[in-house]
Amino acid sequence: MPKNRNTFSSLAAWRRRAANRAVHAGWNWMQRAGAVTAQTPGRIRFGAIGSGTRLAFPQGTVFGAPWIRLGEYCIIAEQVTLTAGMMPDLDLGPDPVLVLGDGVVLGRGSHVIADAPITIGNDTFCGPGVYITSTNHSYDDPDEPVGKQWPRSAPVEIGPGCWLGTGAVILPGARLGRNVVVAAGAVVRGEVPDHAVVAGAPARIVRRWEPETGWQPPLRTPAPRPVPEGVTPQQLRALAELERPAEAR
């Protein structure tokens, strides 16, 4: 009897492992097959999608795609919402409404809601769960439910080289300059100058770089060491492999 019990237990364990491998293999296949690129747009017809840009599978809600333009080498993670207009199947005119520059990264679960124009500059990186919108609810009428009052819209501009931390919210009318850092969870409205760090809700400037004085307040971390000239990406990867513990390789 113990022998039979061991046999059935081993068979059940083998089946669970086989099912686990099959599920993961199938999911990996769907992720590769379901990714959206310029060569494999699937059902989505963007106004433009640059070379090297990839929307991971599964995609979030996407509508108004003809008025959405994506630059080259953008990375759009899973479950990212991209919308142009208040609802699907609207004619938004001849001009794009949502424009992503080259090298833009949108983290998993982020939302970009463009009822009025939104522009995101080159090489801007967004962490997971970032929310960028050009429309906000109005609540002028105290007797009418807020969700039934007509919203207000204003264009949003995010300059090149910015970093938006996890859960950051960019509100209508915001204008971020070049290389702006938005702390995780910050809520940004209004104008933010170049080379500023903002945090809080509502966000305020907590650090800024000026050519005459550098960073104020001064940075608490040491400056990063520059990569020596002539070092290739392949050499850097090989160096990283050497520094990893043997058991992790």
Active site members? 137
d(CA 72, CA 40): 15
**Look-up of token digits 């919108």:** 133
Q: DSSP code of 67? A: G
- Going 10 to 13 to 15 to 18, the CA torsion angle's sign is negative
Residues counted in the chain: 249
Check if the beta carbon of residue 181 is closer than 8 Å to that of residue 198.
yes
3-class secondary structure, 20: helix
Q: How many CB atoms lie within 10 A of CB 156?
A: 27
Edge-to-edge strand order for the sheet containing 48-49? 48-49, 68-70, 98-100, 118-120, 156-158, 175-176, 191-192
Contacts of 102 (CB under 8 A, 6+ apart): 50, 71, 72, 73, 74, 122, 123
Q: DSSP code of 148? A: G
**Look-up of token digits 């609540």:** 139
Q: How many CB atoms lie within 10 A of CB 44?
A: 15
**Look-up of token digits 């080159």:** 122
